[in-house]
Structure 1
Amino acid sequence: MSTQQSMTDQTTAALDAVVCAGLKLGRSVLDAMRSSTPVSDVVSAVGKVDTGALSLPQMSLGTQPCGCAIPDACFLPEKLPTVTAHGCPGATMTLRLAVTNEWPASRFVAVRVTGADSGAVTVAPVQQQIGPYETATFTATVHLPDDTSESLSALLWVRGCRDHVVRWEVSSSEGGCACVHEVAVLDEPDTVHHWYDHFYKEPCCRPQPRQGRVPVAHG
């Protein structure tokens, strides 16, 4: 065997060893992401990397977020904070949705209610055309029964450029009162190209229909 052939074989063997070590380290790190094992312990266990020179942080990928999770797709509904209200028996509870059209063109926006208690909720108006950068208010009301043990839960959907959803929890109690809550809804397209957009194929803003209004099903 020639000297050149021997050196080639040694180089190939060394590269194979490096690749195997990298694969082993990668598998170990992935396992650590599903457990509470510190990263430095994982690398030390591989036996191929000097952890002292790397100064790896003492953190666990299984218990702390690494910041690389894929966010919800831009076309999925935006979940707004839950609104919880307590009213006295027989009171009328009100939830106002202040929707702002953040787009330089008019847009039809519709509101619908879903859930087991959707029949108890009234919305006015159910849809409305909002001008460029203007705000319109949709008002949801519910009349509490005289029984203090009654409560209801409903989802209010705002359908514009994007879908927005807010959960409305209303309960009746002697210490409650008739009250009004207001939720600000900023309806705008997502015009920023994100790295995680490559995982999705839906548009980030629903196109407007050419004719007619946005169909709405009001429960």
Structure 2
Amino acid sequence: MTKRKSAATDVRQTMDAMSDVLSRQLDLSGDIVDSLAGSARRFLSGLSQNVGPGSCEIPEPCWMPHDLGEYHCDLCKGSSGTMEIRITNTDYRARNFTIVAAGPDAGRVSLTPNSFSLGPKERRTVTARFDAALDDTVHCAELEALIWVMGCNSHFLRWTIDVGKSERACCHHVDVFDQPDYVHHWYDHFYCVRPCFGKTARPVPGAKDTVG
């Protein structure tokens, strides 16, 4: 009888010990899960603060021209506006560059010079002049032209002119950094052309090839 009681006592003690071990394991698992969840929340919170809103948006395909922005001028009838476009070849090899005007009022834009070559890391400034001359019967107008810069990549800017009775200084400065893109981004597609467009770079009808 004593042996049976001793055996029963041993079984209870063993079960109590196993129950205690299991309980400790469950508590430890809960702590690990809570810790991982807290780390994940902190990581996502820091990520959202560092990258800012909209940073996960997929950019345009790599073959699309680069937008240099919009520029505006107010001129009196018969005046002219000026823009300086400084082009830098940031590549390690020489490149040919072509600058052309397009759009409804492209004929009013003069570009000096409109084509040249740049060696590695060299730069040059192009002067664009917008003529706001109007017919005697016209007193005000809205004029617009696109200016394209084509080297390894294609770049463009939009220049608008309001012609009227008031005028403000019109002398913009634009920097263009032209280089091939050797980085494969997560949002790239298989049809991306690298490192340069070469003979496929013809964003403006009649534009010459820009192979360097």
Name 1:50's counterpart in structure 2. Answer: none
**Cα shift at 1:128:** 0.8
CA contact (8 A) 1:75 1:204 kept: no
Correspondence for 2:173 among 176, 182, 186: 182
Q: 1:132 to 1:87 in 2, by over 3 A?
A: same
1:17-166 residue pairs with structure 2 within 5 A? 67-146=55-134, 147-166=138-157
Name the CA distance, whole Å, in 1 between partners of 2:115 and 2:165: 35
**Cα shift at 1:145:** 2.0
- Name the Cα RMSD after superposition: 2.7
Name the CA distance, whole Å, in 2 between partners of 1:66 and 1:107: 34
CA contact (8 A) 1:97 1:185 kept: yes
Name the CA distance, whole Å, in 2 between partners of 1:148 and 1:123: 26
Paired residue total: 154
CA contact (8 A) 1:108 1:160 kept: yes
Q: 1:122 corresponds to which letter in structure 2? A: S
Task: Normalising by structure 2, report the TM-score.
Answer: 0.63
CA contact (8 A) 1:121 1:140 kept: yes
Q: 1:126 to 1:66 in 2, by over 3 A?
A: closer
The alignment-based identity, stated in percent, is 35
Q: 1:118 corresponds to which letter in structure 2? A: A
- Is 1:191 equivalent to 2:187 in the alignment? no
CA contact (8 A) 2:180 2:194 kept: no
Q: 1:195 to 1:127 in 2, by over 3 A?
A: same
CA contact (8 A) 1:92 1:178 kept: no
- Is 1:215 equivalent to 2:208 in the alignment? yes
Give 5+ residue unaligned stretches, structure 1: 1-52, 58-64
Name the CA distance, whole Å, in 2 between partners of 1:187 and 1:132: 11
* 1:9-67 CA-partner distances (Å, limit 9, x unpaired): xxxxxxxxxxxxxxxxxxxxxxxxxxxxxxxxxxxxxxxxxxxx89999xxxxxxx664
- For the residue of structure 2 that corresponds to 1:119, the secondary structure is helix
Give 5+ residue unaligned stretches, structure 2: 1-36, 45-52, 201-206
- For the residue of structure 2 that corresponds to 1:74, the secondary structure is coil
CA contact (8 A) 2:181 2:194 kept: no
Name the CA distance, whole Å, in 1 between partners of 2:63 and 2:163: 36
Name the CA distance, whole Å, in 2 between partners of 1:158 and 1:94: 16
CA contact (8 A) 1:96 1:182 kept: yes
